[in-house]
Structure 1
Amino acid sequence: MATRKNNMVKTPLQQAIKVALCSTGLLLGSSISLVAIAAESAQHSARQLFTVPAGDLGKNITEVAAQHHIALSFNPELTQGLKNPAIHGEFTPLELIDRLLSGSNLLMVANKDGTYSLLDQQDYTLPGVAVSADKVAQSKSTAYSGGQIEAGGRLGTFGEQNSANVPFSVISYTDKTIDNQQAESIAEVLDNDASVQSGYGYGNYSETFMVRGFALDSDAISYNGLYGILPRQVVSTNAIESVQLLKGSSAFLNGVTPGGSGIGGAINLQPKRADTDLNKISLDTSAKGQTGINLDVARRFGSKKQWGVRSNVLYRDGDSAIDNESREETAISIGADYRSDTLRVSTDIGYQNLKIDSGRSVVHNSSYFDVSAPDATTNYSPSWAKSRLKTLYGMINADYDLNDDWTLHAGLGVNKNKEYGDYSSPTLSNADGDATLTRLSVPYESNTFASTLGLVGHVNTGDVTHRINLAYSGFLNKAYNAYTYGSASDNSTNIYHPNDTEYPTASSLAAGNMDNPHIRSKTNAQGVSLADTLGFLDDTLLITVGLRRQNITVNNYDYDGIESSYYDDAATSPIYGIVYKPIENVSLYANHVEALQQGDQVTDTSAANYGSVLAPYVSKQNEIGVKYENGTLGAELALFEITKPEAYTLNGDYGLHGEQRNRGVEVSLYGEPMAGVRLHTSATVLDPELRNAEDSGNNGNDAAGVAKYRLVVGGEYDLPFFAGATLGGKVIRSGPQYLDAANTSELDSWTRIDLSARYQTQISEHEVTWRLNITNLMNKGYWESASSSGYLTQGSPRGIKLSMSSTF
Structure 2
Amino acid sequence: MQSFRPSHTAQAVALALLSLTGSATRSALGASSTPTLPEVLVISQTDLDEGSAETGYRTVTATAGPLGRIPLQDTPYSINVTPSALFENRAAHTVSDALKTNPTVATLMEPTGYSTLSRVMIRGFTAADQSDMRDGLVDRSFTYVPLENVERIEVLNGLSGFLYGFSSLGGSLNYVGKQPTEELMASAAVGRYGSGINYLHADAGGPIDAEGRWGFRVNAYGETGGGYIEGNEQERTLASAVLSYALTPDTLVRADVWHQELSMQGIQTYIGLAKGVPVPDASDFDPETQYGQDWTYNKSGKTLAGLSVESALTDALKLRTAYRYGEMWREYQFVGATLTDTRGNYSEKLTKSPRQVERTHAYYALMDAEFATGAIDHSLTFGFTGTSYVYTRGNDISLTLGDSNIDARVEYADPELVAGPTNVWYAQDFRNWVIGDRIEFSDAWSALIGVTRAGIRLHRWGEGSALSRSDYAQHQVTPSYALMFKPIPSVTTYASYIEGVTNGGSAPSGAANAYEILDPSVAEQYELGAKASLGGMELTAALFRIDQVNAYLDPSDNVYKQDGREVHEGIELTATGKLTDRLTLVGGFTLMNAEVTKAENDPSIEGKTPVNVPERQARLYLEYGLPQVAGLTLTGGLNYSGERPVDAANTDALDGATTVDLGLRYETRAGGRGLALNLNVSNVFDTDYWSYYRSGDGLLLGAPRLVALTAKVYL
In 2, Cα distance between the equivalents of 1:217 and 1:387? Answer: 20
Question: Partner residue of 1:446?
Answer: 358
| 8 Å CA contact retained: 1:493, 1:499 | yes
| 8 Å CA contact retained: 1:739, 1:790 | no
494-503 or 591-600: which moved more? 494-503
What SS does the aligned partner of 1:582 have?
A: strand
In 1, Cα distance between the equivalents of 2:706 and 2:368? Answer: 46
The one of 485, 492, 513 equivalent to 1:580 is 485
Question: Partner residue of 1:639?
Answer: 543
Write out per-residue CA displacement over residues 467-510 of structure 1, whole angstroms, 9 at most, x where no aligned residue. Answer: 1111311111111111342325x521234553322223467xx7
Q: CA deviation at 1:178?
A: 2.3
Aligned-partner residue type, residue 215 of structure 2: G
Q: CA deviation at 1:287?
A: 7.5
| 8 Å CA contact retained: 2:457, 2:471 | yes
In 2, Cα distance between the equivalents of 1:264 and 1:40? Answer: 49
Aligned-partner residue type, residue 366 of structure 2: G
Matched, 1:188 2:97: yes
Question: Partner residue of 1:463?
Answer: 375
Instruction: State how 1:200-211 maps to structure 2 within 5 Å.
Output: 200=109, 203-211=114-122
Question: Partner residue of 1:253?
Answer: 163
Aligned-partner residue type, residue 471 of structure 2: Y
Question: Partner residue of 1:625?
Answer: 529
Structure 2 CA distance for partners of 1:366 and 1:449, relative to 1, 3 Å: farther
Q: CA deviation at 1:384?
A: 1.2
Question: Partner residue of 2:124?
Answer: 213
645-654 or 378-387: which moved more? 645-654
| 8 Å CA contact retained: 2:553, 2:696 | no
Write out per-residue CA displacement over residues 390-416 of structure 1, whole angstroms, 9 at most, x where no aligned residue. Answer: 111111121111111111110101111
| 8 Å CA contact retained: 1:670, 1:681 | yes
540-549 or 336-345: which moved more? 336-345
Gaps (5+ residues) in structure 2?
Answer: 1-12, 39-43
What SS does the aligned partner of 1:424 have?
A: strand
Q: CA deviation at 1:604?
A: 6.2
In 1, Cα distance between the equivalents of 2:274 and 2:151? Answer: 40
In 2, Cα distance between the equivalents of 1:351 and 1:263? Answer: 29
Q: CA deviation at 1:440?
A: 1.3
What SS does the aligned partner of 2:163 have?
A: helix
| 8 Å CA contact retained: 2:572, 2:590 | yes
| 8 Å CA contact retained: 2:585, 2:622 | yes
Structure 2 CA distance for partners of 1:640 and 1:338, relative to 1, 3 Å: same
Q: CA deviation at 1:655?
A: 3.0
Structure 2 CA distance for partners of 1:785 and 1:312, relative to 1, 3 Å: same
Percent identity of equivalent pairs: 22
Aligned-partner residue type, residue 760 of structure 1: E
| 8 Å CA contact retained: 1:713, 1:732 | yes
In 2, Cα distance between the equivalents of 1:209 and 1:399? Answer: 32
The one of 622, 632, 644 equivalent to 1:715 is 622
In 2, Cα distance between the equivalents of 1:144 and 1:763? Answer: 20
| 8 Å CA contact retained: 1:576, 1:591 | yes
Structure 2 CA distance for partners of 1:132 and 1:767, relative to 1, 3 Å: closer
Matched, 1:772 2:683: no
Question: Partner residue of 2:80?
Answer: 171
In 2, Cα distance between the equivalents of 1:218 and 1:494? Answer: 35
Instruction: State how 1:557-576 maps to structure 2 within 5 Å.
Output: 557-559=461-463, 564-576=469-481
Question: Partner residue of 1:126?
Answer: none
What SS does the aligned partner of 2:73 have?
A: helix
| 8 Å CA contact retained: 1:439, 1:504 | no
The one of 280, 296, 304 equivalent to 1:371 is 280
Q: CA deviation at 1:234?
A: 1.6
| 8 Å CA contact retained: 1:620, 1:644 | yes
C-alpha RMSD of matched pairs (Å): 2.7
Matched, 1:613 2:517: yes
Aligned-partner residue type, residue 574 of structure 1: P
Question: Partner residue of 2:151?
Answer: 241
Aligned-partner residue type, residue 170 of structure 2: G
User: What count of residue pairs does the alignment treat as equivalent?
Assistant: 679
Q: CA deviation at 1:40?
A: 5.5
In 2, Cα distance between the equivalents of 1:221 and 1:366? Answer: 34
In 1, Cα distance between the equivalents of 2:407 and 2:107? Answer: 23
| 8 Å CA contact retained: 1:195, 1:683 | yes
Q: CA deviation at 1:779?
A: 1.6
Question: Partner residue of 1:266?
Answer: 172
In 2, Cα distance between the equivalents of 1:42 and 1:232? Answer: 41
Question: Partner residue of 2:255?
Answer: 347
Matched, 1:422 2:333: yes
The one of 618, 639, 652 equivalent to 1:732 is 639
In 1, Cα distance between the equivalents of 2:234 and 2:659? Answer: 24
TM-score, normalised to structure 2, is 0.90
Structure 2 CA distance for partners of 1:565 and 1:631, relative to 1, 3 Å: farther
Larger Rg: 1
Question: Partner residue of 2:669?
Answer: 762
Write out per-residue CA displacement over residues 768-792 of structure 1, whole angstroms, 9 at most, x where no aligned residue. Answer: 1111111111122210112344622
What SS does the aligned partner of 2:59 have?
A: strand
In 1, Cα distance between the equivalents of 2:151 and 2:640? Answer: 28
Structure 2 CA distance for partners of 1:495 and 1:158, relative to 1, 3 Å: farther
Aligned-partner residue type, residue 624 of structure 1: L
The one of 264, 269, 275 equivalent to 1:356 is 264
Aligned-partner residue type, residue 422 of structure 1: Q
Larger fraction in strand: 2
Question: Partner residue of 2:235?
Answer: 328
In 1, Cα distance between the equivalents of 2:667 and 2:691? Answer: 34
Question: Partner residue of 2:216?
Answer: 309
In 2, Cα distance between the equivalents of 1:557 and 1:33? Answer: 51
Matched, 1:683 2:669: no
The one of 780, 793, 805 equivalent to 2:700 is 793
716-725 or 247-256: which moved more? 247-256
In 1, Cα distance between the equivalents of 2:51 and 2:497? Answer: 25
647-656 or 591-600: which moved more? 647-656
Question: Partner residue of 2:497?
Answer: 592
687-696 or 319-328: which moved more? 319-328
| 8 Å CA contact retained: 2:261, 2:300 | yes
TM-score, normalised to structure 1, is 0.80
In 1, Cα distance between the equivalents of 2:459 and 2:243? Answer: 36
In 2, Cα distance between the equivalents of 1:481 and 1:432? Answer: 38
Write out per-residue CA displacement over residues 639-687 of structure 1, whole angstroms, 9 at most, x where no aligned residue. Answer: 1011110123557454321111111111111101210211101101111
Question: Partner residue of 1:673?
Answer: 579
Write out per-residue CA displacement over residues 179-223 of structure 1, whole angstroms, 9 at most, x where no aligned residue. Answer: 211111111111111111113278532111111100112453110
Question: Partner residue of 1:478?
Answer: 390
In 2, Cα distance between the equivalents of 1:635 and 1:42? Answer: 41
In 2, Cα distance between the equivalents of 1:709 and 1:497? Answer: 36
| 8 Å CA contact retained: 1:446, 1:477 | yes
| 8 Å CA contact retained: 1:322, 1:796 | no
In 1, Cα distance between the equivalents of 2:460 and 2:535? Answer: 49
Question: Partner residue of 2:8?
Answer: none
The one of 160, 183, 198 equivalent to 2:107 is 198
Structure 2 CA distance for partners of 1:38 and 1:147, relative to 1, 3 Å: farther
Aligned-partner residue type, residue 104 of structure 2: S
What SS does the aligned partner of 1:425 have?
A: strand
In 1, Cα distance between the equivalents of 2:535 and 2:251? Answer: 29
Aligned-partner residue type, residue 404 of structure 2: T
What SS does the aligned partner of 2:579 have?
A: strand
